[in-house]
Amino acid sequence: MSLLDRYEEVVGHFEVQRLRQLAERLQGKRIVHVNSTRVGGGVAEILRWMVPLMEELGLRPRWEVITGPPDFYRVTKAFHNGLQGFAVTLKTRDFDLHNEINRENAKKLNLEADIVIIHDPQPIYLPSFTPAGKVGSWIWRCHVDASRPNFAVWRYLEKAIPSFQATIFSMPAFTRSLPCPMFMIPPAIDPLSDKNCQIPEPERIETLIKLGVDPERPLLLQVSRFDRFKDPLGVIAAYHLVKRYHPELQLVLAGGTADDDPEGTEVYNEVMEEAGEDRDLKILLLPPDAHRTINILQRSAIIVLQKSLREGFGLTVTEALWKGRPVIGGACGGITLQVHDYQTGFLVYSPEGAAYRIRYLLRYADKRQRMGRTGHDFVREHFLLIRNLRDYLTMLLCLQHPEGDVVVV
């Protein structure tokens, strides 16, 4: 069974057939993806399914990885944070190092292709050092919110932009004004991955018991890093407000801290302190590969929270909706694209708002179930990888046919 055949079981035969038909218009196109790691991180996760699926659709994709000394990754990590508006300190020699590593990699990597898609800022200067004619079109895919970047970082990165024929962002709010088309391609989840696949019931129960969660009682869940912008303390406050009406309620805050986030440990300690001795409130520090555990928690929750104060796209919301759980989310970032009041959950603006909506959803089981079904359908239509692939193919066709508002290809 081919990879695409497996997705047919999720999105249906006709949807996959239409994707194949769209891809027929791009047969044999040589596409090179370039990023900075083959393992770990969201981009590598995307490329791991995108490259084989593009191949199965008749394109000729390849995946190249830019490499450099440890110092290079320190600099690119600072770029990554700076692009998202965090304060970073970089010296002239850091920018020089980035430039030099891009120059070296442009010589080493096999970039000959019709289209090269550069993921994030690490390889952004490759076009500057690649001989003219080797690459048909360059596209920069920015996976983060670049709407309010650090000034020095942006001043350096934006000089690379004129080499690109187009850019791709996850949502319009993440863009800046750029001199080339800025395509919108929201991220997507893989319904067959460990994070999202069906879980056998015995495994679910066993895992919950291991984690100290009672499978028989209602569970509230937030999955996120221990980060102030995810407002874990606000979630605990909402839980306390509801607990007096629903003493059977449990709350799990599950997440990790990133190595590059010194504040994470501080927030985690604050959360632990706030949680106190409540046996129904579990704080789980999970390793980055605990995909199945997160899947199980999401499937076991009666309501999923994502009470962020600032958010990127919010793929944890997508994952929860896919599992048929209504989501109560902070009204920010990509959460507003996914959570629609009374349809897939509720947008809230305070711990009190979250508490009120939790009480509402606990009270009305029928509405909760209907929202869960709508959320699942909504994600199937908009945020699964088949749609993501369709968006990529459409963008490539758009570049191939630059004129016309409606194009028959």
Partner 1 sequence: MNAPGPFALYDCSLARYASGRYCSNLRELLEAVRVVPDMVLEHHMMRCALDDHFELYEFPNDLARWCWDALGDHVLAESLGLLDPYRLASSADLRTALVKVIEERLWGMERVPWCRPGLELHLIGSRLMAYDTGERLPTLAALVEGMPRIPLRSFYYHVHEARRRRGNLFDDFSAWLEERDADPAMVVKLRAIDFYFLNLNQLRLEFIQIFRQYLPDAEVKKVAP
Which residues contribute to the site for partner 1 (CB under 8 A)? 14-15, 17-18, 21-22, 25, 169, 171-173, 175-178, 181-184, 331-333, 336, 340, 343-344, 349, 374, 377-378, 381-382, 390-391, 393-395, 397-398, 401, 404-409
What is residue 298's three-state secondary structure? Answer: helix
| Angle of the 42-56 helix axis to the 3-11 helix axis, nearest 10 | 100
- Shortest separation between residue 85's beta carbon and partner 1, angstroms: 14
| Tokens at 377, concatenated | 């359908």
Question: Which residues 6+ apart lie within 8 Å of 285 measured at CB?
Answer: 226, 255, 256, 257, 268
Distance separating alpha carbons of residues 379 and 316, to the nearest angstrom: 12
Structure tokens given for 197: 């696949």
Whichever of 156 and 183 has its CB closer to partner 1, that residue is 183
Helices 351-363/365-382 angle, 10° precision: 110
Task: Find the shortest distance in angstroms from Cβ 93 to partner 1.
Answer: 33
Separation of alpha carbons 307 and 233, rounded Å:
10
Closest CB to partner 1 among 274 and 391? 391
* Residue 184: CB minimum distance to partner 1, A: 4
Please, what is the minimum distance in Å from the beta carbon of residue 25 to partner 1? Answer: 7
- Give 264 or 334: the residue with its C-beta nearer to partner 1: 334
Q: How far is the CB of 330 from partner 1 (least distance, A)?
A: 9
Minimum distance from residue 390 beta carbon to partner 1 (Å): 6
> In whole angstroms, what is the distance from residue 211 CA to residue 280 CA?
11
CA-CA-CA-CA dihedral for 74, 75, 78, 82, to nearest 10 = -170
- Cα of first residue to Cα of last residue in the chain, in angstroms, is 30
Q: Which CB sits closer to partner 1, 18 or 292? A: 18
Give the contacts of 98 (CB within 8 A, at least 6 positions apart). 72, 75, 76, 79, 125, 156
Min separation Cβ 399 and partner 1, Å:
9
**Minimum distance from residue 266 beta carbon to partner 1 (Å):** 25
Nearer CB in complex with partner 1: 184/272: 184
**Nearer of residues 89 and 177 to partner 1, judged by Cβ:** 177
Minimum Å distance from CB 164 to partner 1?
A: 14
Q: How many CA atoms lie within 13 A of 373 on its CB side?
A: 5
Q: Could you tell me the CA-to-CA distances from 218 to 99, 195, 302, 372, 380 in Å, in that order?
A: 53, 21, 6, 15, 26
| Pair 333, 187: CB distance under 8 Å | no
Answer whether 379's CB lies under 8 Å from 322's CB: yes
